[in-house]
C-alpha cells in the first residue's frame, strides 16, 4: 500500500526521500550506459576477432591442402600426416564454436529480414530471452493450428460463404508470413532449421495468396471442398507433429543430445526415429494429398471454361510442395536408417 503524505512536513520528508531515490536512479542510469558502451565495444571486438580468425583459418586450410596434394610423400612423415589431420579436426571444431559465439553477437539481417524489418538488430543476447522467444513461437504455432482447424471445419461443414473463405485464406497468408519472419529471427539466434523446411513456408504463403485472389465461380466451387478438407487434415497432422516432436526434443535436450534452440517444424527431421511407424503414414498421406490436389488442378486447367490463372498457379504450388516434402522426408529417413545401420555394425 502506497504512503500518502497528509501534512506539509510529511510532504517535505517524502520529497527528500524522492530526491535521494532520484540520485540513485541517475547513478544507476549512468552506470548502465557506461556498461552498455563497454558491451558494444566488446561485441565489435569479438565479431572482428572471429572474422579475422575465420579468414586465417581458411587460408591455413588451403595451405594444408596444398601440402598434402603437391608435396612429395617422402617429405611428409606419418607424424606430419597425423598432425595435419589433427589440425583439420581442430579447425572444424573451432568453426562450430564460432557459430555458438555468433549466436550471442549482433549480426546483419538476411535479405528477407532486411526487406521486412530493415536494419533492426534481432539478435537476443541472453539464453533466457532466446528460449522465451522460441517457446512463444511454438505456442503461437500450436494455437494457430487449432484456430485453422476450427476455421476450416466451419467453412467445410457449417457455413459456405465466399467472404468467409476469403477471411480463412487471409488468415493462412498472415500465418505463413508471420512464420517466415519468426523463423528468420530464430535462425539469427541459433535455431537449426535449414533447407526445404524454411522454403516450405514461402511456397505456402504464395499458395495461400493465390487462393485468396481466386474469384468466385464454378471452378472455385469445384475445388473448394477438396481444399478445405486438405486444410483440415493438414492441421490435424501438424497437431500430431507438434506433440510428437516436442516430446522427442524434450527427451533429447534432457540427455544433452540436441541444441536448446532446436524447433518443432513441419516434416520429419533427422533426429526423429522413435515412434516413426506411427507418424510417417500420416505425413506421406498428406504429401500424396498435395499431389492429388495438383493433379486435380491441372485437370481443371484443361477444361474449356477455365479462365482463371489461379488454377495453374495453385497446381504448380501443390506440385512443388509434394516434391519438396516427399523427397526431403525420404532423404532424411534413408539417412537416419543408414546411420543406425552403421552404428549397429560398429557395435
Q: What is the pTM of this model?
A: 0.77
Residue among 238, 209, 227 at smallest CA distance from 310? 209
**Model pLDDT for residues 34-59, shown as the tens digit of each residue:** 998 998 899 889 988 998 998 998 88
8 A C-beta contact, residue 57 and residue 91: yes
Separation between Cα atoms, residue 195 and residue 35, nearest integer Å: 39
Cell 507438434 identifies what position? 242
Distance from the Cα of residue 293 to its chain's centroid: 26
Q: What share of the chain is helix, strand, coil (3-state, %, to 5)?
A: 80, 0, 20
Lowest mean pLDDT among 115-119, 140-144, 233-237, 310-314: 115-119
Long-range contacts of 291-296 (CB under 8 A, 24+ apart): 291/318, 291/319, 291/322, 291/326, 293/226, 293/227, 293/230, 293/318, 294/318, 294/319, 294/322, 296/223, 296/226
Average pLDDT (101-112) is 81
Q: What is the DSSP letter of 309?
A: T
The Cα–Cα gap between 121 and 109 comes to: 7
User: Per residue in 22-39, pLDDT tens?
Assistant: 999 999 999 999 998 998
C-alpha cell at 192: 537449426
CA torsion 15-20-21-26 (nearest 10°) is 120
> How does residue 208 score in pLDDT terms, banded at 50, 70 and 90?
very high
Here the cell at position 270 is: 533427422
pLDDT cut 70: percent of the chain above it: 84
Percent share of the chain, pLDDT over 90: 39
Band of pLDDT at residue 335, cut at 50, 70 and 90: confident
Q: Are residues 328 and 343 in contact, defined by beta-carbon separation less than 8 angstroms?
A: no
What per-residue confidence (pLDDT) applies to 152? Answer: 95
Amino acid at each position: 500500500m502506497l504512503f500518502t503524505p497528509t501534512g506539509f512536513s510529511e510532504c517535505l520528508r517524502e520529497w527528500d526521500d524522492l530526491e535521494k531515490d532520484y540520485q540513485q536512479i541517475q547513478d544507476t542510469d549512468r552506470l548502465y550506459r557506461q556498461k552498455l558502451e563497454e558491451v558494444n565495444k566488446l561485441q565489435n571486438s569479438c565479431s572482428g576477432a572471429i572474422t579475422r580468425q575465420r579468414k586465417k583459418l581458411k587460408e591455413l586450410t588451403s595451405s594444408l591442402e596444398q601440402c598434402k596434394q603437391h608435396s612429395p610423400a617422402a617429405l611428409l612423415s606419418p607424424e606430419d600426416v597425423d598432425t595435419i589431420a589433427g589440425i583439420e579436426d581442430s579447425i572444424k571444431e573451432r568453426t562450430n564454436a564460432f557459430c555458438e559465439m555468433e549466436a550471442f553477437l549482433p549480426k546483419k539481417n538476411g535479405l528477407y529480414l532486411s526487406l521486412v524489418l530493415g536494419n533492426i538488430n534481432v539478435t537476443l543476447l541472453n539464453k533466457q530471452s532466446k528460449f522465451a522467444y522460441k517457446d512463444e513461437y511454438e505456442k503461437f504455432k500450436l494455437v494457430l493450428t487449432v484456430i485453422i482447424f476450427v476455421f476450416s471445419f466451419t467453412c467445410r461443414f457449417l457455413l459456405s460463404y465466399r467472404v468467409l473463405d476469403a477471411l480463412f485464406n487471409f488468415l493462412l497468408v498472415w500465418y505463413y508470413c508471420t512464420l517466415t519472419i519468426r523463423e528468420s529471427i530464430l535462425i539469427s539466434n541459433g535455431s537449426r532449421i535449414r533447407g526445404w523446411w524454411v522454403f516450405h513456408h514461402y511456397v505456402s504463403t504464395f499458395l495461400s495468396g493465390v487462393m485468396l485472389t481466386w474469384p468466385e465461380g464454378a471452378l472455385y466451387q469445384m475445388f473448394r471442398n477438396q481444399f478445405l478438407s486438405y486444410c483440415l487434415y493438414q492441421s490435424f497432422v501438424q497437431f500430431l507433429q507438434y506433440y510428437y516432436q516436442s516430446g522427442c526434443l524434450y527427451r533429447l535436450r534432457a540427455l544433452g543430445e540436441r541444441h536448446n534452440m532446436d524447433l518443432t517444424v513441419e516434416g520429419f527431421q533427422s533426429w526423429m526415429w522413435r515412434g516413426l511407424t506411427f507418424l510417417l503414414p500420416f505425413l506421406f498421406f498428406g504429401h500424396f494429398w498435395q499431389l492429388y490436389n495438383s493433379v486435380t488442378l491441372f485437370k481443371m486447367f484443361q477444361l474449356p471454361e477455365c479462365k482463371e490463372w489461379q488454377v495453374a498457379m495453385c497446381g504448380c504450388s501443390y506440385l512443388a510442395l509434394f516434391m519438396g516434402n516427399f523427397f526431403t522426408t525420404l532423404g532424411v529417413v534413408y539417412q537416419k536408417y543408414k546411420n543406425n545401420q552403421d552404428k549397429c555394425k560398429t557395435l
